[in-house]
Structures are given as C-alpha cells and as structure tokens.
Chain A
Amino acid sequence: MSCSVRDAAELESRGVPTVVYANDVFRPIAYGTAEILGFSRAYVDENVVFFAHPTSNLTRSHVFGLVDDAIETVERALLGTRDVVAPNVARSTDTVDLTEIGELLEPLRASLREDGATLALDDVRAGVVHARLEVDEAACADGTCVLPRRNLVALLEAALRARYDGMHVELDDSRERSLAGT
C-alpha cells in the first residue's frame, strides 16, 4: 500500500492527478505514508477509494460489482469534487489494548515480513507502544530492505494516530544493535 501512495506522489509531482484503489485494512498505512511524503491525511480521504478487505478471494464478477458501486466516487475523486467524510476514530490512549494495536498494524507487519523483518509488539503503557524490529540477516544482510528506523517509527505513529490520540512508538531496532556491536 505504501508503494501505491508513493506512486501517486510521484505522479502528482509530475502534474498527473492520481486516485488509488486500496483495501480498507490499509487505511492506517495510507495515512502514515502520506504524512511521511508530506501529504495531509485529507489527501488520502479525498483520493484513495477503499474497498472492504479482502478483495483477493472475490470472484471477477463480484469485483466488477465493487467497481460499479464505486465508480461515481472514483469519478468525483478524479475531478476533485468528492464529498469527503473523514473517519473520526481517534480516541484516548487510556483504553488501548495491545491485541487491538496488533490488528491495526498487521498489514504493515505483513509488509515487513515480506521484506525479511519481524515487528514484535511488547507492551503499551502511558501512550507509548514498545516494539522490537528484528531484521533477518539472511534475507536482508545490510538491513536496507526495510524502511530506515525514523521513517518506520513515523509510519507506525501515523498509523496508530489514525485511531489513538497522541500515540508514540519506542522501537528497539536490531540494525542499531548490530551497529553498536561492531
């Protein structure tokens, strides 16, 4: 998902209005990527058309039906006339549950696994999520196939803030431990 938003940013910078189709589980990643790239969250609300996840197991005719239902929204997004109701889901960090955070971040964690890294969530207290990133040296010897630490933290925090007010992330990054040990 982050790559699709990056593609949109590249095309927008070349003067090409771009709309992205994505599954709704990727909304937090879309927000996070947009913020890293310098877009506002409103860009996602206005230019990403979300479908209920998953779409991969649907029949072709079912997918066609999804597009039929969405095409007017798509057209308005392309023309910049979409009526946007931004989801208002941010809430206090007082009632945060680590399982819920895991579910929220699962699409991002899955992307990291594809790149050879594991993001473990250890704890959440006082509005801070404590996480560990383990990069598999066999799959990614120099660690560069995973986002740099600061970008990853920014992405995680932006994703979390789509649901929780003022959430922070403390990330223990195995790449930094490797550097410290050399």
Chain B
Amino acid sequence: MIELHDPRGSPETPSVRIATRPKSLYGLTIGLLENGKENADALIDRTAELLTERGATIVRARKPSFSRPAPTDVIDSLAHCAAVIAAHGG
C-alpha cells in the first residue's frame, strides 16, 4: 500500500488574544505609533495634545517603513504602554 502525504499546508488561523481595556486614560501612558505616510505625523501630533489634556502621558514611536510590520524594537518600545494608537497616514 502506498501512503501519500500531501505536502500542502492548510491555512492556519491563529487565535488572537485581545488585551483588557483600561477603565480610564487619566494617568496612563499612551503610545502613539506613526507609520511614516503623509500626515500620519499630524494625526499623531494632535492626538498627543488631546490625550495629554485628558491626563495621559505620551510615548511616541515611528516605523521605518509603512509597508512592513513594525520591527521588534519599535514594538518593544511601546509594550509598556497602557494602550497604543497606530496611525496609518495616506
């Protein structure tokens, strides 16, 4: 008997864990991630101003390429934040 193994993989859908949301932004550190496209910086600048008015502390980061996922060091720089906003300009 010949046993045939199909080398094709099957699409795998990873299970994703959604982070628990905070109850308030006041006093929290919020990360703002800019992807480098046009006006992403303006979106982030104004967001930073408004969230600061709401009592948040802002940490900013920028992706080296908008067409690639953020590299590990950029993600690491935001991993301590209570929440992140990622702005995709364009």
Contacts and interface: CB of A to CB of B under 8 A. Distances in A.
Interface of A: 1, 3-4, 6-23, 26, 35-39, 43, 53-58, 60, 63-64, 66-68, 71, 74-75, 78-81, 111, 114-115, 150-151, 154
A21 B86 contact: yes
A7 B86 CA distance: 8
Contact of B75 (A14, A36, A38, A80): A14
Interface residues of B, number: 49
A21 B46 CA distance: 13
Majority secondary structure, B binding face: loop
Contacts of A56: 37-39, 89-90
Which of A4, A6, A10, A35 has the largest count of B CB atoms less than 10 A from its CB? A4
For the complex of A and B, list the 6 residue pairs with the smallest distance between their C-beta atoms, beginning with the closest.
A80-B21, A56-B38, A63-B42, A67-B46, A21-B87, A64-B46
B83 A23 contact: no
Given A13-B17, A79-B21, A21 B70 contact: no
A8 B17 CA distance: 11
A60 B42 contact: yes
B47 interface: yes
A146 B85 CA distance: 27
